[in-house]
Amino acid sequence: LVDSKIIADEKINKNLNIVRPTSFKEFIGQEQIKSSLKIAIDASKYRKEALEHTLLYGQPGLGKTTLALLISYEMNSKCRVASAPSIERPRDIVGLLLGLKEGEILFIDEIHRLNKLTEELLYSAMEDFRLDLTMGANRGARCRTINLPKFTLIGATTKLASISAPLRDRFGLCHKIEFYSNDELKQIIFNFSNLINLQLDSDACCSLAKISRGTPRIALRLLKRVRDYAQVMKKTNKISIEIIEKALDSQKIDNRGLDNVDRKFLSFLKLNNNNPIGLDSIAAGMGEESSMLEFVVEPYLIQIGFIMRTPRGRKLTSLGKKYISSNNEKY
Ligand code: ATP
């Protein structure tokens, strides 16, 4: 359990090495979501009520946690941050709910991983701000109702379909975070490089943005690797396109942003004579987790037209085949 203040107090938390925007203005892109959230936030401030429960979904690294924290700053309320796998027993969620004060925010990451008992306790908590508890067992069992302060639950998930309908329906606001355009990523890279005292010109930002898979977390990670290379090998904070190319080459990342895992995935499909193959078989063959392949590797390979999903499994496209035939030797 992390109190949002720990993350929020500093723009750069050196221990966690996390950088997060601290206002909607600094949060680049997702304009439609920001404007609809701003209206909901202003309306609830006007009515002096807690914000409606909010569900954010989308691929990893697109900014769900960051948006949840931004909502709490805009609401001027404290945000308690928890991850669903850490809420194992009913008493965990009861403790969290009882610890909330009027108007505070509870953020649950990976909310699709909540267990059934916890989820059921949340139904009445979200709808009626009430906890219905059964105490004792057998004949001695007693029901007890505890009133809760009006709070806001913000849930984040990469798997909207895995959230049960009763839980999903209790969120008044629901937003899908989309992949970012190259221009938006360029701006994110530029802002972040200023924060960590790196000098990147527009071309350098652009070349990093192009290989960031539409994802801010990847953009920031690549920028940090480039910084390491520039500081160690060239003793400079000035990043040119040549330095970016060399740094990425040393990490075996090519000019499309593909790394060894992507190429292994494509080679595996090619080895199978381009017959469709199930994700679990690919994962077993590669020694990786299938959920990692599904959420981290595949979306981008599909987006750039290298693979396709068919009812019988994954298949290389002619573009993917051409790429892997000419690039596999190189790395
Ligand atoms: P996960 O699903 O893995 O929990 P997430 O969607 O919650 O990921 P975050 O942790 O919020 O993603 O964001 C990853 C990083 O990208 C953070 O350092 C965050 O500050 C940065 N980031 C994300 N979105 C933006 C944005 N729109 N503008 C600026 N920085 C962003």
Residue 303: name the closest of 31, 134, 59 by CA.
59
- Is 217 noted as a catalytic residue in this protein? yes
d(CA 65, ligand 1 centre) in Å = 6
pLDDT score recorded for residue 157: 96
Q: Which residues contact residue 124 at a Cβ distance below 8 angstroms, ignoring those fewer than 6 apart?
A: 130, 131, 132
d(CA 80, ligand 1 centre) in Å = 18
Query: How far apart (Å, rounded) are the C-alpha atoms in residues 271 and 141?
Result: 61
Residues of the chain with pLDDT under 70: 1-19, 328-331
Residue identified by tokens 């105490």 is 135
The dihedral through the CA atoms of 98, 58, 214, 326 has a sign that is: positive
Query: How far apart (Å, rounded) are the C-alpha atoms in residues 84 and 107?
Result: 10
pLDDT score recorded for residue 7: 40
The dihedral through the CA atoms of 283, 288, 294, 300 has a sign that is: negative
pLDDT score recorded for residue 5: 40
Query: How far apart (Å, rounded) are the C-alpha atoms in residues 248 and 226?
Result: 7
Catalytic residue, candidates 158, 186, 213, 227: 158
- Is 101 noted as a catalytic residue in this protein? no
Query: How far apart (Å, rounded) are the C-alpha atoms in residues 276 and 313?
Result: 5
Q: Which residues contact residue 155 at a Cβ distance below 8 angstroms, ignoring those fewer than 6 apart?
A: 53, 54, 55, 56, 107, 108, 111, 163, 171
pLDDT tens track for 264-304: 999 999 988 778 999 999 999 999 999 889 888 998 899 89
Look up the ipTM and state it: 0.97
Query: How far apart (Å, rounded) are the C-alpha atoms in residues 34 and 44?
Result: 15
pLDDT score recorded for residue 272: 81
pLDDT score recorded for residue 82: 93
Residue identified by tokens 């139904």 is 123
Report how far apart the first and last C-alpha atoms of the chain are (Å, whole number): 41
- Is 109 noted as a catalytic residue in this protein? yes
* Residues within 6 Å of ligand 1 by CB: 18-21, 27-30, 60-66, 109, 156, 158, 188, 216-217, 220
